[in-house]
Amino acid sequence: MKMAIHHNDKTVHFLFDIGLIGKAVDGTFEIIGGIALFVVNPGQIDGLLRMITLHELSTDPHDIVANLLLHSVQHLASGTQTFAAFFLLWHGAVKVGLVWALFRKYLWAYPVAIFAFALFLAYQLYRYTHTHSIWLAALSALDLFVIAITWLEYRRLCTSGRLSRRRMN
């Protein structure tokens, strides 16, 4: 019995670390994307995406990903671009900050991260009702997994006594 619990602890911790790395990468890309939206205008973004997707669309004019990218940038107005830039910067900064605190094993960060990720998930699900984007659905499923694994890691650390008093502050 003790062996099974120890094995489950390792699995939960491994999955938690993988989920955090994914969140850190995602948050970093969001920060970069937010900064890029502040310095690049919609016409430049459209031109860049057309250049990137040119080869793919010349071989397959119905490529789903390439057409999705081109379609999404066509509706990018300056007000939308500013909102998207702020949103990406804020969203990315919160993710990166929470991931840093979770890797440091600060006890307060676990419930805060679960709450923040749940808010992000709720917004994504709200957006899904308008867009029906398969990518948003996949991202939401991944976020749900990260919330669950963060809760399991939090419980694992609390019950194992592996959190020092220093990490609670």
The total of structural domains in the chain comes to 1
- 66 vs 20: CA distance, rounded Å: 28
CB-based contact 28:96 (threshold 8 Å)? yes
Give the domain extent around 104.
2-168
CB-based contact 105:163 (threshold 8 Å)? yes
For the chain (169 residues), the mean pLDDT of every run of 10, in chain order, is: 58 89 92 87 74 78 75 64 85 94 93 94 89 84 92 88 53
- Output the pLDDT for position 24: 93
In sequence order, what are the residues at sequence separation of 6 or more whose Cβ sits closer than 8 angstroms to the Cβ of residue 91? 27, 30, 120
pTM value? 0.71
Checking phi first, is residue 63 left (phi over 0); if not, alpha (psi -120 to 50) or beta? beta
- Output the pLDDT for position 2: 47
